[in-house]
Amino acid sequence: MANNVSGPRVSILEPLLRRKRATAAELAQQQAVPKRRKISALAPSVDVFNPTKNTEAFPYWSRLVPEIRAMILERLPSSRGFGEHRIGDYACVSKEWKAWVESRTFASLNIDSLTQIRRLGEYVRGERASCVRNVHLYTDLMPYPDRQLAEDEECVNFNNRRFSERVKILFAMMSTWNSTSCVTLELSASSPTDLLTGAWLETHEEFNSDCILDTDYSGHTRERLLGNLLDLQDDENGTVCLSSVPAVKRLVVSRRHFRSLTARAITTITGHLPGLEEVVYEPWEFVNMAGQMDRDYAATKLLDHLPPSVKAVTLWETSRPMIHRDVLTTKLDLAEAEAAVRASFQLFSFSSAGMVDADRFFGLARINDTERPIWPELRSICLKSQCLSGLRGQKDVTLLLIDAAAAALRMPRLELMELWYASEGRGTIIRLDLRGDRAKLHVASTWHVHLVSVVRRLFGQVAWNRTHWDLDFSFEEIDPGSLMGGQYKICERLHSTVRCQL
């Protein structure tokens, strides 16, 4: 028989939020104290920064068993029915609540001005700095009145100066953070005018290329949108002075906005991150060969100057139909692929979408076969290849897979290899998965991929050497209609780090 409890319902959180009644004099004193100004996402609505605040106002909190305390804390982000209370208000309950709230409040910080950088240095220090997991620095560049005109020298210098100033101040502030922190630093930049063009929709993975807002999207407009590469300006002594930031373990040069970095800028930044373990580099493909060569050169130098601490690299060359509908920027220089092969020898994980084709990567490894290069630590490799488009002959596909299997035989710790291609309505994934208690080669494609006997034998040898399991083969037909969203629909099927960047 159900028990009926009369009276209004009382939330389990209500006793913890109830304050002692203040006297009239106390209320007058509180009103006389000016309110603390909030600073965007860097400060909650309550003054949690005051070390003199009584955080033991609710001694009976400690009487609850740890499991109940954890359940209550986990409910805080979704609590909405307690008057004017926000997540920051709960920090005054106890030291445990304060630590929990700060770990959420300061976990991810978006910074888009010098003022926010300085406030970050003021408020996020000491133990609080250990709460930070992600810092996104966005640089807003100079607006431009005419989208048909290229950037002039004044605009280029302004953009470089603004980007340099923010990076230098942020690095100086973060240099004091504990080296044991695991911070992801993301860098991105764009002009406000970029957003006014409607082209910002192109940065979204679900963008429909049929919904073009600007019918006069000329070559000059696209060049101005992608802009010049950002550089770090020299100091008065003729060098770029950056503070060392050991707390950053992961660097992302994001495709979230349109601008990318010069070779000098990206190598200088990575050179001042002594604890760096992972690099995610996502430049936009340019719309002419001259601009594309500058971007390829930057990627080459990044790979050639990787700090020895880096163990994972993801390269993603971003393109969109509206911007690149009639663009042909063939990579004639092998320097980028050669740099990728050299860099991969120190890595645990390497992924490339568009910047280094699998055909060239494994082809260069085959050319150097007399030296028998070994990838001693490589566990995961994911490469895009034009050979898998379905528009090339079967011979090209077979040669690619033979070279890939030959390279895999020299990867003694390999766990996952993925070769793929995607475009509107076409896609292929060939996945060698040596994880778990089975060895599997899975082929998923919109067209028929034939694996000749030599390919099966070589990959079977890879599986046996690595796992002592026979290789299982499986095939899946992909509906072309399911790929009308472009390459992102295929990438959702990938198991490697490329999928994590979506």
Q: Which residues of 243-253 are buried (b: 16+ CB within 10 A; e: fewer)?
A: eebbbbbbbbb
Q: Which residues of 137-147 are buried (b: 16+ CB within 10 A; e: fewer)?
A: bbbbbeebeeb
pLDDT at 246: 95
Q: What is the pLDDT of residues 87-145, one digit of tens each?
A: 667 777 777 777 777 787 788 899 989 999 988 888 887 778 888 999 999 999 988 87
The token pair that represents 138 in the structure block: 């966005």
Q: Does the structure show a pLDDT above 90 at 388?
A: yes
Per the model's pLDDT, the better-predicted residue between 94 and 244 turns out to be: 244
Q: Does the structure show a pLDDT above 70 at 16?
A: no
pLDDT above 70 as % of the chain: 74
Phi, psi (degrees; rounded to nearest 5) at 138 = -105, 130
C-alpha Rg value of the chain to the nearest Å: 27
Strand partners, 441: 432, 473
Q: Does the structure show a pLDDT above 50 at 213?
A: no
Mean pLDDT for 387-413 is 93
Q: What is the pLDDT of residues 53-86, one digit of tens each?
A: 444 445 667 778 888 888 887 777 655 545 566 6
Q: Does the structure show a pLDDT above 60 at 38?
A: no
Distance, CA of 253 to CA of 420 (rounded, Å)? 23
pLDDT at 302: 97
pLDDT at 203: 45
Strand residue runs (E) in 265-424: 278-281, 312-316, 349-353, 380-384, 416-423
Which residue blocks in 227-357 are alpha helix, DSSP H? 263-271, 289-304, 321-324, 335-344
pLDDT at 433: 96
The token pair that represents 2 in the structure block: 């159900």
pLDDT at 402: 96
Q: What is the pLDDT of residues 276-327, one digit of tens each?
A: 999 999 998 877 778 888 889 999 999 999 999 999 999 998 777 667 666 6
| Number of other residues whose CB lies within 10 A of the CB of residue 407 | 26
**Please, are residues 380 and 415 in contact by the beta-carbon 8 Å criterion?**
yes
Distance, CA of 434 to CA of 466 (rounded, Å)? 8
